[in-house]
Amino acid sequence: MKTLKIIKIGGNIIDTEAVLSSFLKDFATIEGPKILVHGGGKLATSLAQQLNVDVTMIEGRRITNAETLDIITMVYAGKINKNIVAKLQAHGCNAVGFTGADGNTIRSEIRPVIPIDYGFAGDVVKVETALLELLLNNKNTPVFSAITHDGKGQLLNTNADTIASEVAIAFASTYVTELYYCFEKQGVLRDVTDADSVIETITSMTYQELKNSGVIVAGMLPKLDNCFYALQNKVAKVCIGTPEMLFTTETKHTTLQK
Ligand SMILES: Nc1ncnc2c1ncn2[C@@H]1O[C@H](COP(=O)(O)OP(=O)(O)O)[C@@H](O)[C@H]1O
Ligand SMILES: CC(=O)N[C@@H](CCC(=O)OP(=O)(O)O)C(=O)O
């Protein structure tokens, strides 16, 4: 089986123009089939604040009312996604931008309102791989934003880490799938203020301990939950770290193990 790399980039890479540009230049050079998934939560938060729209995050997920849904659609599917696609084109990578509504690639359903009503936030129900596979075979690179749809005309906000793991799982029977979560830290840190405290391996057992001791909080919770969910569903490799981990074996990062 061929290897498919699913690479997710988080807010801190997207926020800084120079960091994003340099990442995309390197990303374009990755050989073989690949899919990019991007977040952009921090940019959405700052635009919402400028527009005096309340921002509420619970356990790393955004409460999404109608106004917030408009903002995130403009930011994720519009500004960020199209900017990334254009930059990849400039580097000779034939990227195609997606929300889950495009080509019905990712259908979701609204999150249950109990215990927390997240509003227009969706949990993934189905990733349709056929169209994506055609594109991959044609050497195109799908680029996903953090938006899905319910099949009834409603867009839904979906955590980008979740999109990356669900896409990786959907392809796990046709490719050896490798899932990389890239952000500004070298991995999961034992002490978030100490860049050298990278935990090189986390198993589901040690994850519980890290959660209980408060090392894993906020946005790190959906990230780690998605890592283990992917491993339990036949994704071959899951890593968290800086983008350098994609290009060299020298750099420290966190590897997740069942
Ligand atoms: N133990 C930890 N190790 C690494 N990063 C952590 C840790 N605890 C909190 N963080 C913070 O969590 C952030 C990642 O979560 P999130 O805001 O969802 O970012 P992303 O956009 O990468 O998904 C990092 O920017 C980091 O500052
Ligand atoms: C439901 C939900 O929380 N969606 C996320 C989607 C963006 C995201 O995941 O962005 P990062 O990866 O940059 O954090 C949000 O709106 O923040």
Does 219 show up as a binding residue in the annotation?
no
The DSSP output letter for 33 is -
User: pLDDT value at position 167?
Assistant: 98
**Position 224, amino acid:** L
The 10s digit of each residue's pLDDT in 66-103 is 999 999 999 999 999 999 999 999 999 999 999 999 99
Name the band, by pLDDT with cuts 50, 70 and 90, for residue 218.
confident
Ligand 1 contacts CB of residue 243 (under 6 A): no
Question: What strand order describes the sheet that includes 122-127?
Answer: 122-127, 106-110, 147-149, 155-157
Out of 62, 106, 167, mutate this one to test ligand 2's pocket (max ligand atoms within 8 Å of CB): namely 62
Distance from the CA of 36 to the center of ligand 2, in angstroms?
Answer: 15
- List domains and CATH numbers for the chain: 3-257 (3.40.1160.10)
Q: Which two tokens stand for residue 202?
A: 């986390």
Ligand lying closest to the C-alpha of residue 58: 2
ipTM score? 0.97
Peptide bond into 33 cis (omega under 30): no
Ligand lying closest to the C-alpha of residue 116: 2
The 10s digit of each residue's pLDDT in 95-105 is 999 999 999 99
d(CA 225, CA 90): 35
Q: What's the whole-model pTM score?
A: 0.97
User: pLDDT value at position 60?
Assistant: 87
Ligand 1 contacts CB of residue 192 (under 6 A): yes
d(CA 11, CA 155): 21
User: pLDDT value at position 24?
Assistant: 98
The 10s digit of each residue's pLDDT in 162-190 is 999 999 999 999 999 999 999 999 999 99
The 10s digit of each residue's pLDDT in 98-128 is 999 999 999 999 999 999 999 999 999 999 9
